[in-house]
Amino acid sequence: MTDIASLRPGDPESIGGYALTGRIGEGGQGSVYLGTTPSGERVAIKVLRRGLVPPAPGSVASAAPERFQRETEILRRVAPFCTAQVVESGTAAGRPYIVSEYIEGPTLQQSVERDGPLRDARLRRLAVGTMTALTAIHRAGIVHRDFKPSNVLLGRDGPRVIDFGIARALDVSATGSGAIGTPPYMAPEQLDGAPVEPPADLFSWGSTMVFAATGRPPFGMDSLPAVINRILHRDPDLGDLEGDLRDLIAECLAKNPAVRPAARDVLLRLLGAQGRPSGGGDLLSAGTAAASDTPQRATALPVGAPPPGGVYAAPGGPVSTDPGTAVFPTQPDVAAGSRRGLWIGAGVALALVSAALAYIFIPRDVTGPVARPTPSAPSASPVREVTAAPPTPAAESRLPETKTTVYENPDDPVRLTSFMYLGSNESKSYARDTKGEFESTGPYQEPLVSPDGTWMAILPWLKDSIPQPYDQVRLVERSTGREFAVRLTDKPLQNFVPYWSSDGRRLLLTTYEVSPTNQRTSVGFVIVDRDTATSKAVSAPTPGAQANPFMWAPGETSVAQRYLDGNKPGIRIYDLTGKALRTIANVGNPIDYESMFSPAGKFFVTLCPSGYAIACIWDTTTGRRVTTVPVPVKRRVVGWYNDAHLIVTDLSNSPARVTITNLKGKQVRLLAEIPKSEIDGNPYRLIPHYGPNPNN
């Protein structure tokens, strides 16, 4: 039973229309009360201390309550199983509060301290229930950041996780300056000041499971400096844990977040899956199931990292990883929809970018000090239903000042959001407003909309036009029109090919050295943090990469780049410090400018190493070929329409036909027609960008 204390003198009698009947507990963030709704249902109300929600940078204090309510709104999207569902949030007398489902039962902390550690089936049920909760939390685009025994309630119907996402709502920096957490259960990256992403929750879960099994956390509970030192530098003490659960918890307690398994991988293994799952589902069972035109729903399971040091046989060459590393660390659905444009022919790019409908921002000069953008909660990345037969027919429309025709249907998962002309003497850029109309965003500027549609990155195309001694990108906030100029690399280095992360909080660009004859050679990449308006330049060894760009790898804790070994193209994976982690050799030519990875991250596509008019679909985890897809001889494989279809450009005629093609090679529907003059760059080169369809 949960111990309910009486209200204290000075405690409010009601909060936000809820009558308070008792006090459940108190912590560093505030007090938790038992409340009742007008209909008599019981709820838990967490009232935060004054000052915990500061105004956003550049805003006034009066905006803080509204911002807090916006930040906590996303918490209501978490599936309610195995979590205490958030009902609403607000402020009362200047103090923010969060109302959630009331779960009767002790915390895991209280239970272990009172009755001792959990064993056997009870421990396994706890592990499954809490990992189910973390999977749901991550699937909603939220990182818990404070998973610990006191945030696990042992209800009558099983364990429930509480207080998820509070750190984000409190506007605490996710980069470590002001980290929230309880030291014995914090991940090394939380202590080191590194970005706090879903892998941090896996570390905290592992520590919590050790506490549940042994009665103590794996790195001790003595002095704070000693605990922190052990977390950063020592192996965990797993006590008498044994079997597969011990192995799984040990993997979650890896110091390097890149080698920890994803939440859904852990859940599947707890439920009996053997080894590291490769993504699950039968989307492409027997190599061709998804190629049919029968409607299907994507399972979109995450991509599990292969065993360190493994070597995998792939047609044409081995797939290897460096000892002690793993690749493609992913979280559920994070990779879904993270897309970027590809040049079609000499200069046309047709991209699937994970963005909401593009909105219009008129470029203007940035004057005065650069303000910092308001941090916001990461947007959820729901799994789209994969329709194997895209709807027909589609409405025909013409892009402004072009002869390019696009064909759109209200049920399409994507639609055109912006595009740019690059001509010999002029340039025009356009983006779609909220009514679906295209308006100009300025010459020689490449606009790229964030996945949630609230931000736009504007990248100057002519670097000599930038008066500063460094390259830069401008970030524009849709709701206010504010602009933030972010410094990239010092000249003469130049940065191109931007990719938003799926949560819209980071922007990845490739850094190039440019020769006097305008030949580009990639030398690294830059990651822009939208919330702080700062960037981090990373040098990376890129043998054989030439001008190929970096793109987000599934999970977005690593990046991928095409390379050439002799005449054998492959893929090289790097962590975010520029360390090479893995190569997948001799898989053929990957896509250069569009993301080669499928929306759920399970597969990637290349032009097969053998076969001139064949595309290969590969398993991201194992590097094994799954199936082949016939494509036109004069073609460009642009990317993925959804997990069951590719976008392919047939260049054999004029206008070139951009089609949605299933994985049997059947052209299901026309997506665009581009005249040869606009493909060849005479007089223009056209770079269109696609994003999620807001009407779908």
Catalytic machinery residues:
146
Nearest to 171 by CA among 31, 382, 29, 76: 29
- Short-list 204, 222, 56, CA closest to 134: 204
Tell which residue, 640, 597, 639, has the closest CA to residue 620.
597
Q: Shortest CA distance to 575 belongs to which of 553, 599, 547, 597?
A: 553
Tokens representing 445 are 């500027």
Q: Could you tell me the CA-to-CA distances from 40 to 7, 21, 86, 279 in Å, in that order?
A: 18, 11, 17, 44
Residue type, 645: H
95: Cβ contacts below 8 Å, ≥ 6 apart: 30, 47, 48, 49, 50
The HSE-up count of residue 409 (CA atoms within 13 Å, CB side) is 13
Amino acid at position 339, single letter: R
- As a whole number of angstroms, the longest Cα–Cα distance in the chain is 81
- Dist. CA 271–CA 1, nearest whole Å: 29
- Burial of 73 per CB tally in 10 Å (0-12, 13-18, 19+): middle
Q: Determine phi and psi for 114, rounding to 5 degrees.
A: -90, -45
> Whose structure tokens read 């979109």?
300
Please state the three-class secondary structure of 186-236 as a single string.
CCHHHHHCCCCCHHHHHHHHHHHHHHHHHCCCCCCCCCHHHHHHHHHHCCC
In a 13 Å sphere around the CA of 138, the CA atoms on its Cβ side amount to 31
C-alpha span between 591 and 342 (Å, rounded): 8
The residue count for the chain? 696
Q: Terminal CA-to-CA distance of the chain, rounded, Å?
A: 46
Kindly state the tokens that stand for 422: 């690059």
What would the DSSP string read from start to end of 468-506?
A: SSEEEEEEEETTT--EEEEEEEETT-EEEEEEE-TTSSE
